[in-house]
Structure 1
């Protein structure tokens, strides 16, 4: 009998050919071949902080939720109260398991009275789509109310423009009569516009700590919009950026990454996200409510267990994921993400540490391959842009 090995299928965004022409180095991310960097990841990082960066985020998922009780269904399926989100606005939320563990973090846009768009992470897109379908089947009265789920991830591209010059660049690719709509768009809000001659859902969100926009559109239109944005950004310092810069930017901004800071083994309370769990504002049951209430009552992340914190390096060496956090030689935590901060000039990390040691100013060590390196607990985020 011959054994066969299943080789995961690689996936490519509609912009893959353009990235290759630009000389990008690629990496696998959630089964997608994504640009890691085009040249210097440090230069890409600094461009986003000082001018603007252009990102292909088409590996992210997009799930449409329609129907008269779409908001009520999302209240049941997610930890937040999505029915209270105003039309045109967005909300950061989580989908948790019955035991309270985090399945994914995501952004939900309310595009109409009965229309929502759920955007999960790339590696979890299929899992979230499946989980929502399962929860829809068990939602009381759902068939009569006609709520439907449509996974449009495979047909949708997502391009982001991030940085101080992002607004000027996006304004340059929309019709003159829509330019003010770009300027007026609030943070965590979305509006439908025409960009480079094609219909786009424009959102003012991001993962870098800078002002920025994300543009959802059909795959067939992605190359044209990418080219138009690059042209508009020629005198604005716009540069294409890969996942390496995106990771260092989000770390400086203290933003969690699923698989690092967030996982099935963690609840929102340990991750410092208890505030987005609507235990008091939602009267009806939602998936994971009992376990999450128990975790809150037990003081998880506040008086018991471990809490996610920021660590500032007091030396020159950087901590990395899974390195042990120490106090007097005993392990008291674990690093989830860490690297040198290009903006701040010193090493930064996020880590779960015992709650008794989570106060800013606490001195701890990280085991860097057998040598204890000093760090100090600091409040997140490490970097906050000037308003």
Structure 2
């Protein structure tokens, strides 16, 4: 019998009892006690790649920005051009420091003409809400942290659409199946307001559902019930991390941080220097990267030993000084070999460049590869960034 340790102290999700009943193992994540796995993280990972996984993401921060000048306030606060979003459109963007570093990466949803939802990382909830509030001063808008009022549940995988279409009691103004990537719709489920977005953090098709905490457990259980015939299983944070790594998606605190510029991680496109006015971090973003700034690359290697965050990268099998550092790494469940993301010297960032990861005193040969490591085979529905 598998031993599932009792959750420790920390903030508990509104779905906590459901996780305990399902036999989840817990981990501390940004002060929350969240399910890290239910049975096998490999089984959960593979379910998302082949069928569907159900994730509790209620630790994420949800911040409401509303008012006649909400769009203009977000244009000033964030790196993207938010006021140009259509109602029902979402955008991945960055909250920058005046020096051009990253406070957080967020997704902004325009749900109404003068109403936007900003979803930030759990560990940056107060930093993001505080920065948005300060940057909204002088604009006719309000900023409200709604994190404690909302639950976030994600259905991710190639059968996610089938599962949502099977959910009884869902009433939305447009068919769920017609939603393109980075689009959202607000409707009701069993009489309760719900927002459904075709977004995710796994590299697969999927949806993220926002609902008031009082109705979260009922929604969770209903999704598991209708999803079971489609292969849906609950999935924890461990497999979410390997899924996003395979998809080449950055994680704050690993590939993103206050001392990291967006251009270093391939996110220069999220900083709109043309077509919009001033924003926090603009002046710094107009300056080219310093000569010694390292760039984020993918690293692929053979065998079973994977580089982990903090491991040094070298350009020779022995001797010499480090030329980079791993930010995230794992043995890829989908690809069957070790993968990692790392910051390396710019001269060594071209695909095919041979490098070596120091794995506990042994240098493992690796090759620079383009990100992402994995792309799903089904056509992706795209909208302009």
| Structure 1 length-normalised TM | 0.92
Write out aligned runs for 1:27-176 (5 A).
27-137=27-137, 139=138, 142=139, 145=140, 147-175=141-169
Native 8 Å contact 1:314 1:376 kept in 2: no
How far apart are 1:73 and its partner, in Å? Answer: 0.4
How far apart are 1:285 and its partner, in Å? Answer: 1.4
Relative to structure 1, the CA distance from residue 177 to residue 15 in structure 2 (aligned partners, 3 Å threshold; closer, same or farther) is closer
The equivalent of 2:338 in structure 1 is 347
Instruction: Answer yes or no: is 1:385 the counterpart of 2:337.
Output: no
How far apart are 1:281 and its partner, in Å? Answer: 2.0
Relative to structure 1, the CA distance from residue 201 to residue 76 in structure 2 (aligned partners, 3 Å threshold; closer, same or farther) is same
Native 8 Å contact 2:171 2:187 kept in 1: no
How far apart are 1:194 and its partner, in Å? Answer: 2.6
Instruction: Answer yes or no: is 1:247 the counterpart of 2:241.
Output: yes
The equivalent of 2:311 in structure 1 is 323
The equivalent of 1:5 in structure 2 is none
> Secondary structure of 2:175's match?
helix
The CA RMSD measured in Å over matched residues stands at 1.6
Alpha-carbon distance in 2 for matches of 1:76, 1:50 = 41
The equivalent of 1:290 in structure 2 is 283
Alpha-carbon distance in 1 for matches of 2:170, 2:65 = 32
The equivalent of 2:5 in structure 1 is none
The equivalent of 2:222 in structure 1 is 228
Native 8 Å contact 2:299 2:367 kept in 1: yes
Native 8 Å contact 1:196 1:224 kept in 2: no
Q: Gapped runs of 5+ residues in structure 2?
A: 1-7, 379-385
Alpha-carbon distance in 1 for matches of 2:283, 2:170 = 51
How far apart are 1:186 and its partner, in Å? Answer: 0.8
> Secondary structure of 2:309's match?
coil
1:187 to 181, 188, 201: 181
Alpha-carbon distance in 2 for matches of 1:240, 1:197 = 25
Instruction: Write the deviation string for residues 316-350 of structure 1: whole angstroms up to 9, x where unpaired.
Output: 31000000010124311000000000000000000
Native 8 Å contact 2:87 2:110 kept in 1: yes
Native 8 Å contact 1:172 1:232 kept in 2: yes
Native 8 Å contact 1:315 1:374 kept in 2: no
Instruction: Answer yes or no: is 1:336 the counterpart of 2:327.
Output: yes
Instruction: Write the deviation string for residues 91-121 of structure 1: whole angstroms up to 9, x where unpaired.
Output: 0000011111100000000111111000001
The equivalent of 2:300 in structure 1 is 312
> Secondary structure of 1:27's match?
strand
> Secondary structure of 2:225's match?
helix
Native 8 Å contact 2:187 2:194 kept in 1: yes
Alpha-carbon distance in 2 for matches of 1:318, 1:153 = 36
Relative to structure 1, the CA distance from residue 134 to residue 364 in structure 2 (aligned partners, 3 Å threshold; closer, same or farther) is same
Alpha-carbon distance in 2 for matches of 1:259, 1:176 = 37
Alpha-carbon distance in 2 for matches of 1:196, 1:370 = 57
Q: Gapped runs of 5+ residues in structure 1?
A: 1-7
How far apart are 1:272 and its partner, in Å? Answer: 1.1
Native 8 Å contact 2:173 2:185 kept in 1: no
Native 8 Å contact 1:55 1:160 kept in 2: yes
The equivalent of 1:4 in structure 2 is none
Alpha-carbon distance in 1 for matches of 2:377, 2:73 = 38
Native 8 Å contact 2:9 2:33 kept in 1: no
Number of aligned residue pairs: give it. 368
How far apart are 1:176 and its partner, in Å? Answer: 7.5
